[in-house]
């Protein structure tokens, strides 16, 4: 009996959880199975920001967005800064310009000094990052930024450019970086991976500046794993899961300018 009761409780909990609307602030849906979007929506993940990283994935991202649950971000990941020709960079920039009205962010862009070939590589990554931040500011779009082993340089360039709509994804910074990000009004997204430094970073930044993400398929995750990111944030903030989920989903929609008005057709007179 006890075992059945326990099972029912956890089933109910699961059911209740699925009623809570979640948002995945950063994923790569082009790299997931085609059923992944339906599975995510069924699990309550009703908003997903799907990021491209190169020409092929940017084009695929434009194919799979639906403007209802899936919203596109287009960018060039720093891993491609060295190998991509200038013509191909220009092609991706024109793709972003042409699709300005549907894309929600320029991402994934940034700096990755864990994957870089010497000074030349650093220069190429930095130049590409600067170009794409300029483009985002010109088009009045946010940036979704990847930073690995490069937090001081990323923060320096964003400050120099006076970028305001900044999303630091898979946040790798420490508590001081989080405080500085919060001070500048940036938002930071947290993956479903717990670490001590991430917990102190979450504690150091207001909940209004946080979002949950999966970066799926990284670490074999899928968008519904965003519930784990929400749990990590809720625990660090001492909040109920449901309250944290509501605020984080609102933050994500607000940051990416996603209107929910179309779901409220019957609300007016
Ligand atoms: Zn990513």
What would the pLDDT profile of 117-134 be if each residue is shown by its tens digit? 899 999 999 999 999 999
Tokens describing residue 20: 């809570």
pLDDT at res. 15: 53
User: Does 6 have pLDDT greater than 70?
Assistant: no
pLDDT, tens digit, 9 for 90 and up, residues 196-216: 999 999 999 999 999 999 999
Centre of ligand 1 to C-alpha 58, Å, is 13
CA of 92 to the centre of ligand 1 (A): 17
For residue 252, report the distance from its CA to the centre of ligand 1, in Å: 16
Residues facing 166 on adjacent strands: 143
State the pLDDT at residue 12: 54
| Whether the predicted pLDDT of 1 surpasses 90 | no
CATH homologous superfamily of 20-259: Metal-dependent hydrolases (3.20.20.140)
Instruction: Give domain limits for the chain.
Output: 20-259
Least confident of 18-27, 202-211, 221-230: 18-27
Mean pLDDT of all residues in 40-52: 96
Q: What is the pLDDT of residues 93-120, one digit of tens each?
A: 999 999 999 999 999 999 999 989 899 9
Averaged pLDDT, 76-93: 97
CA of 215 to the centre of ligand 1 (A): 5
The confidence band for 265, taking pLDDT boundaries of 50, 70 and 90, is very low
Please give the residue that has the higher pLDDT: either 3 or 137.
137
Which residues have their alpha-adjacent CB atom under 5 A from ion ligand 1? 108, 215
- pLDDT confidence of residue 115: 85
Dist. CA 236 → ligand 1 center (Å): 23
């Amino acid at each position: 009996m006890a075992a059945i009761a326990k099972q029912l409780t956890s089933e109910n909990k699961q059911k209740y959880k699925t009623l809570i609307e979640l948002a995945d602030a950063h994923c790569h849906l082009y790299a997931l199975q085609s059923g992944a979007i339906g599975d995510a929506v069924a699990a309550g993940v009703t908003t997903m920001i799907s990021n491209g990283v190169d020409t092929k994935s940017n084009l695929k991202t434009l194919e799979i967005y639906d403007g209802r649950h899936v919203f596109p971000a287009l960018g060039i990941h720093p891993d491609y800064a060295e190998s991509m020709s200038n013509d191909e960079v220009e092609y991706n920039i024109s793709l972003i310009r042409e699709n300005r009205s549907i894309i929600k962010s320029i991402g994934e862009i940034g700096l990755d000094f864990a994957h870089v070939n010497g000074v030349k590589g650093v220069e190429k990554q930095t130049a590409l990052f600067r170009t794409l931040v300029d483009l985002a500011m010109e088009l009045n779009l946010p940036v979704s930024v990847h930073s690995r082993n490069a937090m001081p340089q990323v923060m320096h360039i964003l400050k120099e450019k006076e970028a305001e709509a900044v999303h630091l994804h898979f946040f790798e910074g420490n508590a001081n970086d989080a405080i500085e990000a919060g001070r500048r009004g940036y938002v930071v997204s947290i993956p479903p991976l717990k670490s001590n430094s991430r917990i102190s970073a979450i504690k150091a930044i207001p909940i209004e500046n946080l979002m949950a993400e999966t970066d799926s398929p990284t670490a074999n995750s899928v968008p519904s794993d965003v519930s784990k990111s929400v749990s990590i944030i809720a625990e660090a903030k001492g909040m109920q899961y449901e309250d944290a989920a509501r605020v984080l989903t609102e933050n994500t929609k607000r940051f990416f300018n996603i209107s929910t008005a179309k779901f409220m057709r019957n609300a007016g007179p």
